[in-house]
Amino acid sequence: MYATLDRNGSMSANTLPTTGTVAITGASGLVGAALIRALDESGTPVLRLSRRPGPGTIEWDPSQGVGDTSRLEGVAAVVHLAGENIASGRWTDAQKRRIRDSRVEGTRNLVSSLAKLSSPPRVLVCASAIGFYGDRGDELLDESSPPGRGFLADTCREWEAAADGAKAFGARVVQARFGVVLSKDGGALQKMLLPFKLGMGGRIGSGRQYWSWVALPDVVGAIRHAMVTTSLSGPVNVVSSQPATNAEFTKALANVLHRPAVFPMPAAAARLAFGEMADELMLASARVVPRKLEASGYRFQYDYLETALRDALK
Convert the pLDDT of each residue in 90-141 to its tens digit: 899 999 999 999 999 999 999 999 999 999 999 999 999 999 999 999 999 9
pLDDT at 12 over 60: no
Evaluate whether residue 118 is within a structural domain. Answer: yes
Other C-beta atoms lying within 10 Å of the C-beta of residue 281 = 20
pTM: 0.93
> 12-21, 30-39, 235-244, 288-297: which has the minimum mean pLDDT?
12-21
**Residue 55 sits in a domain of what CATH number?**
3.40.50.720
Q: Who's near 175: CB < 8 A, 6+ residues apart?
A: 126, 127, 128, 159, 160, 163, 234, 235, 236
Smallest CA-to-CA distance from 284 within 303, 262, 265, 267 is with 267
Quote the pLDDT of residue 53.
Answer: 76
Evaluate whether residue 92 is within a structural domain. Answer: yes
Q: How many domains does the chain have?
A: 1
Could you give the CA distance from residue 257 to residue 111 in angstroms, rounded to a whole number? 44
- How confident is residue 158, by pLDDT bands cut at 50, 70 and 90? very high
Evaluate whether residue 308 is within a structural domain. Answer: yes
Evaluate whether residue 260 is within a structural domain. Answer: yes
Evaluate whether residue 228 is within a structural domain. Answer: yes
User: What is the residue range of 290's domain?
Assistant: 22-313
Evaluate whether residue 34 is within a structural domain. Answer: yes
- Long-range CB pairs of 182-191 (<8 Å, 24+ gap) are 182/213, 182/214, 182/215, 182/216, 182/308, 182/309, 182/312, 183/30, 183/34, 183/216, 183/312, 184/312, 184/313, 185/30, 186/29, 186/30, 187/30, 188/87, 188/281, 189/253, 189/309, 189/312, 191/87
- How confident is residue 177, by pLDDT bands cut at 50, 70 and 90? very high
Evaluate whether residue 16 is within a structural domain. Answer: no
User: What's the burial of 96, exposed, middle or buried (CB within 10 Å: 0-12/13-18/19+)?
Assistant: middle
Q: Strands 140-141 and 287-288, how do they pair? A: parallel
Three-state SS sequence of 287-307: EECCHHHHHCCCCCCCCCHHH
- How confident is residue 19, by pLDDT bands cut at 50, 70 and 90? low
Evaluate whether residue 114 is within a structural domain. Answer: yes
Other C-beta atoms lying within 10 Å of the C-beta of residue 247 = 19
